[in-house]
Amino acid sequence: TKDGRWYPEFFRINFSRCIFCGLCEEACPTTAIQLTPDFEMGEYKRQDLVYEKEDLLISGPGKYPEYNFYRMAGMAIDGKDKGEAENEAKPIDVKSLLP
């Protein structure tokens, strides 16, 4: 993108190959992937187990109610620099979280 951020051209998860180990959740630097113990993957066709980004989006807070994607990802709000909006904390430097 113009601001130098990287993003995937598409986001697809094939749940017929997933073993629900949680490694993708641990590896995600912005905690955008959140696994829950509630799953039921019974399908008649294997291709119905391939989920696109739109199939995986949720409208609620998810597993971690205090999680704020925009703060974690360090994305700016229109017209303001990162951390300058009202009641907005400074963005987290995800590189500082690495071991």
Q: What is the pLDDT of residue 38?
A: 72
Average pLDDT rounded to a whole number, residues 69-94: 65
> How far apart are alpha carbons 91 and 40 in whole angstroms?
36
Strands (DSSP E) along the chain, which ranges? 12-14, 50-52
End-to-end CA distance of the chain, in Å?
Answer: 28
Does the pLDDT at position 9 exceed 90?
A: no
What is residue 13's DSSP assignment? E
82 and 42 in a common domain: no
Q: Say whether both 41 and 12 belong to one domain.
A: yes
42 with 88, same domain: the answer is no
Are 10 and 41 in a shared domain? yes
Q: Which residue range forms the structural domain that includes residue 79?
A: 68-99
Q: Note whether 34 and 10 are same-domain residues.
A: yes
Q: How much is the pLDDT for 85?
A: 63
How far is residue 74's CA from residue 96's CA, in Å, rounded to a whole number?
Answer: 13
Asked whether residue 79 falls in the same domain as residue 53, the answer is no
pLDDT at 58: 78
Total domains in the fold of the chain: 2
Pair (49, 85) in one structural domain? no
Q: What is the pLDDT of residue 60?
A: 73
How far apart are alpha carbons 32 and 83 in whole angstroms? Answer: 20
Q: What is the pLDDT of residue 50?
A: 93
